[in-house]
């Protein structure tokens, strides 16, 4: 900007022209004020949430021999944060000046080291402070902050609480406590063989089986979550299980107050019963075992949920030598089934879940639907395809537009893995709905065309 005193040394004509230009520029700045926030405007507010829901972190106890073989016998510690708007809207907001503080002063038997510089982490006297980058609404970040090392010659058992505090210049403060435990179980399950030739309208019985193939026992309660996928529902049987609905439930959550010792394996003393729809073609019964404190919120049911009407479910010991091992947080088993209704092409509806501005992936051919060829989608309003690899030379198949203006999408016939729909929720549109449909095979008449189309809905996460 030119100092006003210099203007007096110019000729009057120049001064007048400059004044006129300044007025014009001032008008342009005023008309563009939306790009620069005014002092009296309220600051944009964001919301941060924890995406990893572990309440207990199990640390492997390495032996001296393993330390010599592995070298750096440590485990990384992550905090996964997601950002969103405080209130629904279409604009994007960033959580600014994020600071993560981890208080480890109450822990024992564990050393915290290797502070991650890319997250701005520093450790002083048991307090670790990290300053990660701003996070835009709709995005999430898996922040590796430091490593955890179990000290030598420490016995298995509780190692104390680790308190986490997350602050931001424009988001509410978050608090969380994680209990550290020295000694990590290795949860494993028995995988069921697929069932074929099942009669529509009949029943399928599945007996979940799980064990601990690690060298450390699990002292927490166990949570077993059973889901009926596709054209099937569960019988509401066991009084120590909660169900998502009183009639024809799809999910059962059972909690068992018992330890799972190293090397132990069990199966339920009675099977879960799934009723197959009279026109059902396929589906699966899945079961997942969690340490009860680490059961994710998406897999929980409230205490008020309906309970079974029969005797409580129990366990009996089995040989777990051939079980599939997963890790300390969970283990997952599945028993798929196909009925004799092989010519009835079917699709089931599904929900696209996420925050406004967020990009997510979903496998279109999953256990809730079945098709052998390509499947067509009409995306709900406010949802679009996100960038994805195209053409040949990619291991994954992606759904792609056939008519972008009308939001028409083709998901190609699967090869080994199902095609991926990579979508972005652009804006919130209440009640928005799309469709998924499959075209009948002209060489094999479809006995029921009413189940060839199903709705696609949107579930917005604030």
Instruction: Find out whether 327 and 275 touch, Cβ atoms under 8 Å.
Output: no
CATH fold of 350-460 reads Immunoglobulin-like (2.60.40)
Cα→Cα distances 431→121, 154, 455, Å = 44, 56, 12
**Domain pair 187-339 / 350-460, same fold:** yes
pLDDT in tens, the chain (462 residues): 434 434 443 333 333 443 443 333 344 333 344 344 444 444 568 889 998 778 999 998 877 777 777 666 788 999 999 888 776 655 678 999 999 999 999 999 999 988 998 999 999 989 999 999 999 887 889 999 999 989 888 889 999 999 999 999 999 999 999 999 999 999 999 998 889 999 999 999 999 999 999 989 998 899 999 999 888 999 999 999 999 999 999 999 999 887 899 999 999 999 999 999 998 888 899 999 999 999 998 899 999 999 999 999 999 999 999 999 999 999 999 999 989 987 888 888 889 998 888 888 998 865 455 556 788 999 999 999 988 776 555 567 889 999 999 999 999 877 667 788 999 999 999 999 999 998 887 888 888 888 889 999 999 987
- Burial track 405-423 (b if 16+ CB lie within 10 A, e otherwise): eebebebeebeeebbbbbb
Q: Which CATH architecture has domain 187-339?
A: Sandwich (2.60)
Instruction: Output the CATH code of domain 46-182.
Output: 2.60.40.10
**Helix (H/G/I), strand (E/B), else coil: 299:** helix
Token pair belonging to 329: 């947080």
Domains of the chain, residue spans: 46-182, 187-339, 350-460
């Amino acid at each position: 900007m030119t100092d006003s005193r210099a203007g007096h040394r110019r000729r009057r004509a120049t001064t007048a022209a400059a004044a006129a230009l300044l007025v014009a520029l001032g008008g342009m700045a005023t008309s563009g004020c939306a790009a620069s926030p005014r002092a009296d405007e309220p600051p944009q507010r964001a919301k941060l949430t924890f995406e990893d829901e572990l309440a207990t972190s199990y640390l492997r106890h390495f032996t001296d021999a393993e330390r010599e073989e592995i070298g750096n016998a440590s485990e990384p510690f992550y905090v996964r944060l997601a950002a969103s708007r405080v209130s629904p809207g279409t604009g994007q907001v960033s959580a600014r000046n994020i600071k993560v503080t981890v208080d480890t002063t109450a822990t024992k038997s564990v050393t915290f080291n290797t502070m991650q510089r890319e997250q701005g982490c520093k450790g002083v006297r048991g307090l670790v402070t990290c300053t990660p980058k701003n996070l835009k609404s709709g995005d999430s970040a898996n922040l590796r902050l430091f490593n955890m090392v179990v000290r030598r010659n420490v016995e298995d058992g509780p190692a104390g609480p680790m308190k986490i505090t997350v602050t931001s210049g424009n988001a509410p403060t978050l608090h969380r406590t994680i209990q550290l435990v020295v000694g990590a179980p290795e949860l494993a399950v028995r995988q069921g063989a697929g069932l074929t030739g099942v009669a529509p309208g009949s029943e399928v019985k599945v007996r979940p089986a799980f064990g601990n193939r690690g060298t450390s026992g699990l002292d927490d309660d166990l949570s077993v979550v059973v889901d009926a996928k596709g054209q099937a529902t569960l019988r509401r049987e066991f009084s120590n299980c909660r169900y998502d609905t009183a009639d024809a439930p799809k999910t059962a959550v059972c909690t068992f107050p018992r330890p799972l010792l190293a090397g132990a394996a069990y199966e339920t003393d009675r099977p879960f019963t799934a009723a197959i729809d009279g026109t059902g073609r396929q589906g699966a019964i899945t079961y997942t075992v969690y340490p009860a404190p680490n059961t994710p919120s998406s897999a929980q049911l409230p205490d008020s949920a309906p309970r079974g009407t029969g005797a409580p479910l129990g366990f009996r010991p089995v040989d777990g030598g051939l079980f599939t091992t997963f890790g300390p947080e969970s283990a997952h088993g599945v028993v798929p089934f196909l009925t004799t209704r092989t010519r009835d092409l079917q699709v089931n509806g599904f929900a696209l879940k996420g925050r406004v501005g967020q990009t997510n992936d979903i496998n279109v051919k999953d256990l809730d639907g079945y098709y052998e060829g390509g499947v067509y989608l009409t995306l709900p309003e406010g949802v679009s395809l996100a960038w994805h690899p195209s053409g040949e030379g990619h291991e994954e198949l992606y759904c792609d537009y056939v008519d972008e203006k009308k939001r028409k999408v083709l998901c190609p016939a699967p090869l080994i893995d199902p095609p991926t729909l990579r979508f972005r929720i652009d804006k919130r549109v209440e009640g928005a709905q799309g469709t998924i449909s499959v075209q009948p095979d002209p060489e094999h008449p479809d006995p029921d065309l009413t189940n060839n189309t199903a709705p696609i809905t949107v579930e917005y996460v604030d």
